[in-house]
Chain A
Amino acid sequence: MAKRIDISGLTAYYGSHKAIEDISMTVEPRSVTAFIGPSGCGKSTFLRTLNRMHEVTPGGRVEGKVLLDDENLYASNVDPVTVRRTVGMVFQRPNPFPTMSIFDNVAAGLRLNGSYRKSELNDVVEKSLRGANLWNEVKDRLNKPGSGLSGGQQQRLCIARAIAVEPQVLLMDEPCSALDPISTLAIEDLIGELKERFTIVIVTHNMQQAARVSDRTAFFNLAAVGKPGRLIEIDETERIFSNPSVQATEDYISGRFG
């Protein structure tokens, strides 16, 4: 069950530093939304506000509303732990748990939440690893440590770990930035399959990737150095890449930026 996300008037701070300001947009269910924009404009920060991971950073603070199918994530009685089970996340750098085997890494979300049946576990792990296109490479060494995999394999392991808990939204922060073209392709194919079931948001610096995988694209930018990042525009990916309504977007996409 994928969910729609409605963001309105979202501002995020690191201590007294305002990183992003007044962002409003809608993320459609069962689709891929790409975030693009120059480094430091707050894409990761914004992404992390969508599953309440921003407040994990010391000094992290959020104002505004994020509605997940009409439920405000930032309402006072919402438990961030439940939010994060519903909205999963894959990080820029692969971060498998070093003390756990490949199997345990994928099973970690279920096991540590305590809500699973033993008989299911094998199936869930296999299904998630197949879903992340990793099963064939690791099926003979599920008990080996996860940190013994290559960087690309580790990243797919992290994706498998994230989808094993069956979230409804999957946030991916530059998931391919450390990968070779083949692994990248594998992950892009994977995103194409996952969007049948999940709502997917992906941050990327790769324009071709954004054009290939996403249905809608949002462009972020800084008004000036030291100013908070803002949403410039969000539209169908085809329009953003062919005929954006804002000049800055066109400049950025065509490389005439800065």
Chain B
Amino acid sequence: MSHASTAVQERPTPPGGHGAPKSALTSRSLPRLAPVGFAAVAIALSVGISTAAGWHSKVQWGMIAALLFLAISYVATTVVENKRQAKDRLATSVVWVCFLIAIIPLVSLLWTTISRGAERLDGYFLTHSMAGVLGSEASGGVYHALIGTLEQVGIATVISAPLGLLTAVYLVEYGKGSLAKAVTFFVDVMTGIPSIVAGLFILSIMLIFEIQPSGLMGALALTILMIPVVVRSTEEMLKLVPNELREASLALGIPKWRTILKVVLPTAIGGITTGVMLAIARIAGETAPIILLVFGSQLINTNPFSGAQSSLPFYIYEQYKVGEAASYDRAWAAALVLIAFVMILNLVARGIARWKAPKTGR
């Protein structure tokens, strides 16, 4: 007993010259909202210093504020609490500062696109094509490009989702030896193919067989880009399925293919869907293959198998090149449509992932 109490009294006092706290387990601490206060002080100081020194760059202001914030919170915590807490707070602050730096471009991009795109985005814009509209005229719309994107991306998905899925199933469940290694290697290589190269590859085939540009050709190039992404993400998801589930199923006398179909895939389906959606989001923004293979058009062409089509990224590029105020507005509005398309896909993917996730509720 006496031993324990001396031990408590011998506890080193925290640096800063304050007496030992009354209890060994509680110590003085800063209020919970202290970091907000530090941030306010840091920003105020940085504005003060910068105006006094006559610096104008807002980036500089921000950097000074961030550094001041780190310094102030470290010093204040050292004084009031102790060294360990101060280090903890420093690490937390660094994480926060990095997070803010990382989301600044994202927020600014979203903000610019939404504020500039909203000017033209309305029902008329979504339901009309550019047929007979001059570049400088403030009418016309994105309908033909939207149709093109939906059809090309749709075809690409219909081809690459099953192919990618089956490849991943092969790699995880069956693949061993040199064939699996070769497939993995080529998937890796394909992941790195620039979209223009995929476009040129299809173009060379078109030239050899004298095929005319069409939405299908663009979709084929997109397929080349999409397959490796689907394979990779599906592979990761399948590897996450515990081996015990496979064994449990096999031990019931269920054949391997049914085990994969009824136990492994359903367990991973949420993650697989997310992966496919992300792959769709990636190819929806591709421009180069569309320029080469689909050719672009001002008119509505709902048939992806013959004739030129447009697509959202191509439309943005085209409108930007016109160089008129009205066409810039259309480009921004189309960019907003594209972002919204990707966003909706993401939300759908999350919804499916949550709906299909293995349930643990009691």
Contacts and interface: CB of A to CB of B under 8 A. Distances in A.
Interface in A78-92: 81-86, 88-89, 91
Interface residues of A, number: 31
Interface stretch (A7-15, A21-29, A94-102, A226-234): A94-102
B258 A95 contact: no
A56 B262 contact: no
B122 interface: no
B17 interface: no
A82 B244 CA distance: 20
A91 B262 CA distance: 20
Contacts of B53: none
Nearest to B356: A99
Contacts of B249: 97, 108, 112
Contacts of A201: none
Nearest to A98: B358
B339 interface: no
A165 interface: yes
A113 interface: yes
A109 interface: yes
Contacts of A98: 245, 267, 358-360
Contact of A145 (B242, B248, B255, B360): B360
A239 to B, nearest CB: 32
B51 to A, nearest CB: 60
Contact of A148 (B262, B267, B361): B361
A147 B358 contact: yes
A136 B246 CA distance: 29
B252 A144 contact: no
A144 B248 contact: no
Given A91-B247, A145-B361, A99 B252 contact: no
A58 interface: yes
26 contacts: A53-B251, A58-B176, A81-B253, A86-B253, A88-B253, A93-B244, A95-B247, A97-B248, A97-B263, A97-B267, A98-B245, A98-B358, A98-B359, A98-B360, A99-B266, A99-B359, A109-B254, A112-B254, A113-B258, A144-B361, A144-B362, A148-B359, A158-B248, A161-B248, A161-B252, A165-B252
Interface of B: 176, 242, 244-255, 258-259, 262-263, 266-267, 356, 358-362
